[in-house]
Structure 1
């Protein structure tokens, strides 16, 4: 499943096995067409390395004919004919969200499920995540890119006021809290995600550091009360990243750092431009598993 999207309570799944090029085209057009609060899209290489898989989770039953038409426009008739649709239940997603997932190492962080507690190195910063119905298990390139950035930035200096926008499972907020030992404000548009993030903060003994709020956008007065932030994390999608640019940059302290992800390469320059126009400059651009993570900084 794709970390970086707003979480959903999925009831239906679309699945496709195809080539890498077709998979990326299909994932792109579906993610750009459907409301990210209603769908979650992932495109990834199969374990055997021979094919790519596309999985789209829908909150409500989709119009299959409409989805096939979108896929046909993006990748052609043969690919559209290979789509399969399945009804799923919430309990199935909870059970399968961690099945087969192994601990993931990113800098000093190790992200793992409860079934792998005994496999974490003693010198690692452990983050135990039970994904349930929210996104963010650490196994996707967007989350890995953000974790890498958090760890890399911590080596240069301590962040004192981090903000995590679109927190999902809370993995990035927890990582920032544990790495810097400072309070972190985290938000999400989805109520289930807020519950999951709060529970994960308790599991990781970070409840005293992580405040998770239910909020859409950045207009809520609680964001302003905690501002300015010297580290802002936003692992969502290009469209909402661009839409949030003005409000987000207003919350950033002079010299503060912004880490943006959930971006496919063709959209990276659009996001860079939106934030550059508002006074940020690009520090680094990292590509992991076909997903871009941008580190940008506000001038002093």
Structure 2
């Protein structure tokens, strides 16, 4: 290692659930900067906690950090002496700007001007998912860009994460009423902060489990429905999402693997929806469907089972 030691890093494996709990906590009473990172894409068990400290950690500090990740019990933390660096910039050095159609999504570490006639969105990595760097989110941006010539008056982004897709919709359809929802209150807080950072004022934010929350239905029906979540919840929520869609509405779905495409299409076909477009990106698939010509009414009340962790928006 070259240069004088400026700080120390303590690293431990953790799960996504532990990472979310750490990121959402207001005060953990630990004198360290805590960062959580997804080590294996979309693997809930393969995350990492890094704690950055100004002083070499003593036994008490190590014990406090280890207590944050019970899943790593029995694993010795890795302690690394670090040379002087800008750790905020370093943490985002791999997040180069993403360009999709009219959009460029960038972090504070990589400020980028908007393309001509397009929009630059500032989305820093943080407590919610959706920097635009995952194939599902970038694919949704491309799908929305392809709908730019259509007119939408009411739009909903279910499982908004960081809000990036809702922000893209606000750019493309500035006169539309746009609702962004998430099951996670922390994600809604992040979306609110990101909206302010991007100068987006007319956005309704809701914490909601599912799509038939009263606050959602009273603002519908929606002529554009966006849901970048996971395949299982998309299947179970198909009747709900179809129910809030206006006749003929565009429905953009993501968070599903190519191997899961058939079951998602089948679930929405049972609700009167037809497939219009597919965008495959590696193992991931983004779908655009059209709602039926008549408003869909679920035969039974929605089943909330299996919704834990449905917000993806990576």
Structure 2 length-normalised TM: 0.68
Matched, 1:271 2:232: no
Give aligned pairs, total.
Answer: 238
Quick one: structure 1 residues 276 and 196, their matched pair in 2 at CA, closer, same or farther if it must change by over 3 Å?
Answer: same
Residue 255 of structure 1 aligns with which residue?
248
Residue 198 of structure 1 aligns with which residue?
192
Residue 189 of structure 1 aligns with which residue?
183
Residue 127 of structure 1 aligns with which residue?
121
Structure 2 counterpart of 1:8, from 14, 20, 30 = 20
Matches within 5 A, 1:1-300: 8-10=20-22, 15=39, 39=44, 55-56=46-47, 61-62=70-71, 98-155=92-149, 157-181=150-174, 182-208=176-202, 210-300=203-293
Query: 1:96 offset after TM fit, Å?
Result: 6.6
Give distance in 2, aligned partners of 1:14 and 1:202: 26
SS of aligned partner of 1:194 = helix
Quick one: structure 1 residues 256 and 287, their matched pair in 2 at CA, closer, same or farther if it must change by over 3 Å?
Answer: same
Structure 2: runs of 5+ lacking an equivalent: 1-16, 24-35, 50-67, 79-86, 294-314
Contact residue 212 and residue 244 of structure 2 kept, 8 A: no
Residue 34 of structure 1 aligns with which residue?
none
Give distance in 2, aligned partners of 1:298 and 1:252: 7
Quick one: structure 1 residues 294 and 270, their matched pair in 2 at CA, closer, same or farther if it must change by over 3 Å?
Answer: same
* Structure of greater relative contact order (alpha carbons < 8 Å, 6+ residues apart): 1
Give distance in 2, aligned partners of 1:94 and 1:269: 42
Give distance in 2, aligned partners of 1:294 and 1:116: 30
Contact residue 144 and residue 288 of structure 1 kept, 8 A: no
Give distance in 2, aligned partners of 1:161 and 1:86: 50
SS of aligned partner of 1:115 = coil
Structure 1 length-normalised TM: 0.71
Quick one: structure 1 residues 159 and 185, their matched pair in 2 at CA, closer, same or farther if it must change by over 3 Å?
Answer: same
Quick one: structure 1 residues 178 and 61, their matched pair in 2 at CA, closer, same or farther if it must change by over 3 Å?
Answer: farther
What is the root-mean-square deviation in Å for CA atoms of aligned residues? Answer: 3.0
Quick one: structure 1 residues 271 and 10, their matched pair in 2 at CA, closer, same or farther if it must change by over 3 Å?
Answer: farther
Q: Deviations over 1:113-142 (max 9, x none)?
A: 123334443432111112311111111100
Give distance in 1, aligned partners of 2:77 and 2:157: 33
SS of aligned partner of 1:117 = coil
SS of aligned partner of 2:126 = coil
Give distance in 2, aligned partners of 1:288 and 1:242: 20
